[in-house]
Amino acid sequence: MKSPVSVAANMSANERKSLGTLALLKTQQVTDLADQQGVSRQFVHRQKNMVVQAIDQAFAAKATDVLFHLPVTPQWLDQLMLSLTLTCKSSCRGVKEFMRDLLDVSVSVGTVHSRLQGAAAQAGVINLAQDLSRIHVGLHDEIFQGSMPVLAGVDAASTYCYLLAAAEHRDADTWAIHLLDVCKQGFNPQHTIADAGQGLRAGQKVALPGTPCHGDVFHIQKQCESLANVLARRAKGVISRRKALETEMARAKEIGCGNTLSRELTLARQAEQHASRLAKDVRTLVAWLSHDILALAGPDLAGRRVLFDFIAAELHQREHLDAARIRPVRRALENQRDDLLAFAAILDAKLETIAQNSKVSIDLVRDACLLQRRAALSSSYWQRWNQLHDKLSEKFQGVLDAVVQAMKHIPRASSMVENLNSRLRTYFTLRRQLGTPYLGLLQFFLNHRTYARSRCPERVGKSPAQLLTGKAHPHWLELLGFTRFQRT
């Protein structure tokens, strides 16, 4: 009888391939195959592994394989330089290195800059040709590159950026000039939203007389949260001081000198009590302001004003405890009350319209609005849902849908401009100076680039320009006169 070694050594290549294939197919056990052929199981496994490797190599793309060819023309290189700068957020020097290292093409930084300037000129023409009459709510704010202000304006509904201009100042005249420019494109919103910047608001009164400027709840809430956080940290510091004194007191008592720290420890405990109470009170007031007054779902305008005045009065009563920190926040609240609560008047009007159209009580419509404050998975939500369903009967779903739809279109903050700022910041860091052409190019690019993802499903796959006009448009490179490469 031949040994397994001699049998394996005498097997032809085709026989080994067939053996490895049978082992890979798993139609028979490896042990059975080894017994049938008179070889060892290790030999069968080796043939199986060789078959697997051969299959993997057959399907793997080799590094030397040419997937497709690119028609590298001067126009294509211009597109590449533009896309590297805008899509990949590369610097001019980074584009230069890319062209040198991957394409063996020598370009200077000046050439890259020149191509950007040429595209910026075309983008500026497209920006000025856009009809802005569809914008109903404009969001205004000032963003900064170093110490230089950049005036920004964004449509609340479509996120279309209609104003992005570098300026030496941010006073009333500067804002008025730039707003008058966009008014020439049909910009005439129902109202705008902005923070308490005096120059911004004064400029709007000149350019858009009679157009209300609502207060931005984002900035005032941030200011109030900062106050609450500072007072909380101060209270923690006082607590730490009291604990340290108690430790020192314990040590002093061991040597009979505890009375030397009695007065200091008493004062520390009093300070802790006052600081903790102040921090807790302010935190509660700030929470009420955010969740009960400035929240979209809440009481009517009159009720909000009463609660707002209560918050301001409570802060005023505690102002003497930390005037340097509390007074600016309290004064900001008092000065901005009507502007900050302007959104509530719009909500009240919409809820009243829903009540009239549905022929139901305004109180029930308001309850449907307040229902949106509750977590959808909570038991309290469904308890209130059932109560409203019983009262509204067959009108319930219609009223609820109308309320939800109305609430979706009542912006309260200019935070969309802050979002724009976060997207621009990565471009700003690549430039020491920002010129108007370059900002116009960024404005064009962000307005015509489609959203890959968004919290609002209706925006995915669409650009701000498409959301504003309701019409599709060519790719942003094609809008600039380029022909994009497509594989055949």
Residues 313-352: tens digit of each pLDDT: 999 999 999 999 999 999 999 999 999 999 999 999 999 9
Phi, psi of 138 (to 5 degrees): -100, 140
Query: Average pLDDT in the 200-206 region?
Result: 94
Condensed to tens digits (0 to 9), the pLDDT of residues 26-45 reads 888 888 888 888 888 888 89
Pick from 128-142, 251-265, 275-289, 340-354: least confident: 251-265
pLDDT of res. 107: 93
pLDDT of res. 4: 59
Cβ-based neighbours of 138, under 8 Å, separated by 6 or more: 153, 154, 155, 156, 162, 187, 189, 191, 192, 193
pLDDT of res. 3: 60
Measure the CA–CA gap between 243 and 268, rounded to whole angstroms. Answer: 9
- Single out the residue of 36, 33, 10, 8 nearest to residue 23, CA to CA: 33
Condensed to tens digits (0 to 9), the pLDDT of residues 346-378 reads 999 999 999 999 999 999 999 999 999 888 888
pLDDT of res. 1: 47
Place of tokens 């509750």: 374
Measure the CA–CA gap between 70 and 84, rounded to whole angstroms. Answer: 17
96 and 206 in a common domain: yes
Query: Average pLDDT in the 236-249 region?
Result: 89
pLDDT of res. 345: 94
Q: What is the 3-state secondary structure (H, E, C) of 309-374?
A: HHHHHHHHHCHHHCHHHHHHHHHHHHHHHHHHCHHHHHHHHHHHHHHHHHCCCHHHHHHHHHHCCC
201 and 80 in a common domain: yes
pLDDT of res. 278: 95
- Single out the residue of 226, 249, 242, 307 nearest to residue 275, CA to CA: 242
174 and 86 in a common domain: yes
pLDDT at 434 over 60: no
328 and 225 in a common domain: yes
Measure the CA–CA gap between 332 and 315, rounded to whole angstroms. Answer: 12
76 and 209 in a common domain: yes
For residue 370, the enclosing domain spans: 359-408
pLDDT of res. 63: 57
Condensed to tens digits (0 to 9), the pLDDT of residues 122-150 reads 999 999 999 999 999 999 998 877 778 88
Q: Is residue 66 part of a domain?
A: no
Condensed to tens digits (0 to 9), the pLDDT of residues 187-202 reads 999 999 998 889 999 9
Torsion, CA 221, CA 227, CA 228, CA 232, rounded to 10 = 160
Q: Is residue 354 part of a domain?
A: no
Other CB atoms closer than 10 Å to residue 311's CB: what's the count? 20
Query: Average pLDDT in the 176-188 region?
Result: 94
pLDDT at 423 over 90: no
428 and 379 in a common domain: no
Domain boundary among 20, 39, 59: 59
Place of tokens 């101060």: 234
How far CA 445 is from CA of 11, 433, 439, 442, in Å, comes to 67, 19, 10, 5
130 and 157 in a common domain: yes
pLDDT of res. 274: 92
pLDDT at 432 over 60: no
* Biggest alpha carbon–alpha carbon distance for the chain: 108
Q: Is residue 87 part of a domain?
A: yes
Query: Average pLDDT in the 291-296 region?
Result: 92
199 and 103 in a common domain: yes
pLDDT at 472 over 70: yes
Domain boundary among 291, 306, 340: 340
418 and 393 in a common domain: no
Q: Is residue 422 part of a domain?
A: yes
Where is pLDDT greater, at 46 or 488?
Answer: 46
pLDDT at 272 over 80: yes
Domain boundary among 19, 34, 59: 59
Query: Average pLDDT in the 247-261 region?
Result: 80
- Report residue 264's pLDDT band, with 50, 70 and 90 as the boundaries: confident
249 and 177 in a common domain: no
pLDDT of res. 57: 78
Q: In whole angstroms, what separates CA 278 from the centre of its chain?
A: 33
145 and 104 in a common domain: yes
148 and 119 in a common domain: yes
Q: Is residue 353 part of a domain?
A: no
| pTM of this structure | 0.78
Cβ-based neighbours of 174, under 8 Å, separated by 6 or more: 151, 167, 168, 199, 203
Query: Average pLDDT in the 73-86 region?
Result: 93
Cβ-based neighbours of 184, under 8 Å, separated by 6 or more: none
Q: Is residue 224 part of a domain?
A: yes
- Is residue 221 within 8 A of residue 289, CB to CB? The reply is yes
Total domains in the chain come to 4
